[in-house]
Amino acid sequence: MTTSNQPHSYGAMSRTELEALEITLVQKYDEIAAAKLALDLTRGKPSSEQLNLSNELDGILKGQYILQDGTDVRNYGGLLGIPEARALGASILETNADEILVGGNASLTLMHQYLAFMQPIWKQECPEGVKFICPVPGYDRHFTLCEHFNIEMIPVSFNGQDPDLDQIERLVQQDPSIKGIWCVPKYSNPTGTTYSETAVKRFSMLPKISGDNFRIMWDNAYAVHHLSDAPDQLANLMALARHHDTNDSMVLFGSTSKVTFAGAGISFLGTSREKLGEFEQHLSETMIGFDKVNQLRHVLFLKDMSGIARHMARHAALLKPRFALTEKILSKYLAGKRIGEWSRPNGGYFVSFDAIPGQAKEIITLAANVGVRLTPAGATFPYGLDPEDRNIRLAPTFPALDSLQQALEVFVVCVQLASVRHYLKS
């Protein structure tokens, strides 16, 4: 057994060292079990303190419900959203206001509605079935939508900060039944990376090698969600697409779910004016319109991009200590041991952890058995299947700092225990 305080790689340990370590870790694990914890690191939810930042939303209208153009936001109508909110969405998604539809409290609903709109078109072209490319690890809700519509998912790995565009271009060229791709281009869920300018350029030209009805589902959920004073820069997909005349294939999504109230914000969809008109027509058959009163609340509260930046800085002030604590604990217990790698994102809501291949499920089960809930293994992959069984999505935003610390201290014990047993077996 080493007497040094320097951690060293589990792979370099002797069997005796590993066995001794296992005993120590089991002891720690049993102590944790005795504490009967009930902690949760599963969902990218804002904390109560973050939600408090937007309490002013309620009561902000002060009886003023009439817009400059005369619209009464309380009444029916106006499927595309109020002009003021469309302008706000255009600023966030960096496109033109007349290319924006403002939705209800979740962009996921808009994604679902957009896929429902495209379904008959795709089915006619590909009666045998439609496929989507899914960069992995990715967002489970995107994958659930694909399953819901019987869209076959083709996982494509990341290559550094970007999805593997060589592979994506090859796939799209080979298989005309591939009708779309999911992207979370900024502070990606869960990897935290932001696509490079080169990647965005290649995405803007992707429809040139696919059919007309190929869609890039550009879920810019974390567009303004910085955790660093030197935030990542994302190239403007829509501007590039306009240049290449591929903007009909671009569908931008965003929301204020992690700006104001997670469950009571407003959402945005951006695409070319022509396609927006077709989508509006589709929606008009199925609904009357979204909540314009809440749209006006958001306009008055957030105002413009400077207002949003000031507001997001308050979020960052609450989030930075949580991400710093996560980094601190993971580093303290796992650095140098070669039993896991993790992301250090400049924004977004997640830390992506890669364990030794084959250990994710085991780690998550170990944690669950002592009262710490983690996102299910495989959740970040289509069909819940992580081929290497190694990715774990950590969501440090919701718990209070002391709970977060407890949960992470359990997590690192579970990672170590699973890993030491892995080496003992091999």
Contact set with its own copies (CB under 8 A)? 43, 45-46, 48, 51, 54-55, 58-63, 65, 72-78, 104-106, 108-109, 112, 116, 141, 144-145, 147-148, 257, 261-264, 285-294, 297
**Minimum gap (Å) between residue 284 Cβ and its own copies:** 8
**Minimum gap (Å) between residue 379 Cβ and its own copies:** 14
- How many residues belong to the chain? 426
DSSP letter (8 states) at residue 247: G
Which lies closer to its own copies via its Cβ, residue 108 or residue 241? 108
Which two three-digit tokens encode residue 208?
Answer: 């040139």
**Please, what's the largest Cα pairwise distance for the chain?**
79
Contacts of 240 (CB under 8 A, 6+ apart): 200, 201, 204
**Minimum gap (Å) between residue 134 Cβ and its own copies:** 16
Give the Cα-Cα-Cα angle 111, 117, 123 (nearest 5 degrees). 115
3-state secondary structure of 267: strand
**Minimum gap (Å) between residue 77 Cβ and its own copies:** 7
Nearest to 370, CA basis, from 13, 39, 20? 39
Nearest to 223, CA basis, from 136, 305, 317, 110? 305
Which lies closer to its own copies via its Cβ, residue 136 or residue 146? 146
Which lies closer to its own copies via its Cβ, residue 37 or residue 293? 293
**Minimum gap (Å) between residue 374 Cβ and its own copies:** 17
**Minimum gap (Å) between residue 385 Cβ and its own copies:** 18
Which lies closer to its own copies via its Cβ, residue 131 or residue 142? 142
Which lies closer to its own copies via its Cβ, residue 264 or residue 319? 264
What gap in Å lies between CA 404 and CA 6, rounded to an integer? 25
Nearest to 162, CA basis, from 135, 181, 189? 135
Backbone φ/ψ region at 43: left (φ over 0), alpha (ψ -120 to 50), beta: beta
Which lies closer to its own copies via its Cβ, residue 74 or residue 170? 74
